[in-house]
């Protein structure tokens, strides 16, 4: 049965299910003392001392005025914490220091996180004009695809995902996104066939497993979804997810 996802629910589902390919944006070498300071700040925040951790990150921010790759790493840290304004500032700093493509990719990711798909497409397309290496091209086309999915333009999204796959046909996160794009457009059977292949070859990857279970749910395969969710969600949480999906028009 076809499900119709309201815009805000689509954003929430897409942001948590689709793979935005974060890892490609912090590949440049960085001076070890900046890297270690950022990691220490992040760990202190994880330990619950947010004020102290953020003070360490602010100290790093004050000392990297001319270091583009350190700015990228700091932006990633802020992004992971959901501090998107500071992340955007650091991506701008990285761009000003010559990290043009990675900085634009980062700004595109921030825009996706803020549910601003038009702005994300703008940044990704600017990055695409100068992208040369394979990984950046995969990340950019994938990011544009995610933005189109957020807009409900699922066919255009899948075209972008296919562009990404021309660089690497076996890139499973992109196949994951194609399957979810079919699911969001109400084509659950196509989604399930694709996601089953992704899950089969990545059975220990939690995100793929969750997405496989989600597509089972919207395909009215509650028992199969429950098996896939085992060890991830409680029976009560699975039931709540089912009730939410059943309530959709």
- The span from the CA of 21 to the CA of 63, in Å, is 28
Residue 119 lies in a domain: no
Residue 37 lies in a domain: no
Helix 222-229 with 235-246: angle, nearest 10 deg: 140
DSSP category for residue 170? T
Classify residue 151: in a domain, yes or no. yes
For residues 171 and 135, is the Cβ–Cβ distance under 8 A?
A: no
pTM of the shown model: 0.74
Helix 32-46 with 50-62: angle, nearest 10 deg: 160
Does any domain span residue 128? no
Kindly state the percentage of the chain with pLDDT values over 70: 62
* pLDDT surpassing 80 at residue 115: yes
- Residues 126-146 pLDDT 10s: 999 999 899 999 999 999 999
Taking only the tens place, the pLDDT of each residue in 146-193 is 999 999 999 999 999 999 999 999 888 899 899 889 988 888 788 878
Distance between CA atoms of residues 214 and 53, nearest Å: 36
| pLDDT higher than threshold 70 for residue 109 | yes
* pLDDT given for residue 22 in this prediction: 41
Q: Look at residue 79 and tell me if it is in a domain.
A: no
SS3 64: coil
Q: Is residue 32 part of a domain?
A: no
**Helices in the chain by DSSP H: which ranges?**
7-17, 32-46, 50-62, 68-81, 84-96, 100-113, 117-128, 134-150, 154-165, 172-184, 188-201, 206-218, 222-229, 235-246
Residue 161 belongs to a domain with what CATH number?
Answer: 1.25.40.10
Better-predicted residue by pLDDT, 83 or 110: 110
How many structural domains comprise the chain? 1
Answer yes or no: is 126 within a domain: no
Average pLDDT over residues 204-215: 73
Domain housing 147:
1-20+135-249
Q: Is the pLDDT of residue 84 over 70?
A: yes
Q: Is residue 210 part of a domain?
A: yes
Lowest mean pLDDT among 29-38, 71-80, 211-220: 29-38
Going by C-alpha positions, the residue among 72, 76, 85, 66 that lies closest to residue 42 is: 76
DSSP state of 83: -
Residue pair 48/78 in contact by the 8 Å Cβ criterion: no
Comparing 247 with 129, which gets the higher pLDDT?
A: 129
């Amino acid at each position: 049965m076809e499900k119709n996802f309201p815009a805000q629910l689509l954003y929430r589902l897409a942001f948590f299910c689709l793979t935005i390919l974060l890892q490609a944006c912090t590949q440049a070498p960085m001076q070890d003392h900046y890297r270690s300071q950022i990691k220490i700040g992040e760990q202190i925040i994880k330990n619950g001392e947010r004020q102290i951790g953020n003070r360490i990150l602010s100290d790093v921010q004050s000392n990297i005025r001319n270091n583009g790759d350190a700015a990228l790493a700091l932006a990633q840290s802020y992004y992971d914490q959901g501090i998107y304004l500071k992340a955007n500032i650091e991506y701008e700093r990285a761009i000003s220091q010559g990290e043009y493509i990675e900085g634009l990719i980062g700004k595109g990711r921030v825009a996706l996180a803020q549910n601003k798909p038009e702005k994300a497409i703008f940044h990704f397309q600017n990055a695409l004009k100068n992208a040369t290496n394979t990984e950046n091209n995969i990340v950019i086309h994938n990011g544009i695809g995610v933005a189109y999915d957020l807009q409900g333009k699922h066919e255009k999204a899948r075209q972008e995902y296919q562009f990404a796959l021309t660089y690497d046909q076996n890139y499973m996160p992109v196949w994951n996104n194609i399957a979810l794009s079919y699911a969001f457009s109400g084509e659950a059977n196509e989604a399930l066939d694709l996601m089953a292949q992704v899950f089969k070859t990545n059975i220990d990857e939690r995100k793929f497993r969750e997405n496989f279970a989600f597509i089972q749910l919207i395909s009215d395969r509650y028992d199969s979804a429950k098996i896939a969710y085992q060890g991830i969600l409680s029976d009560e949480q699975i039931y709540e997810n089912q009730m939410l999906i059943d309530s959709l028009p």
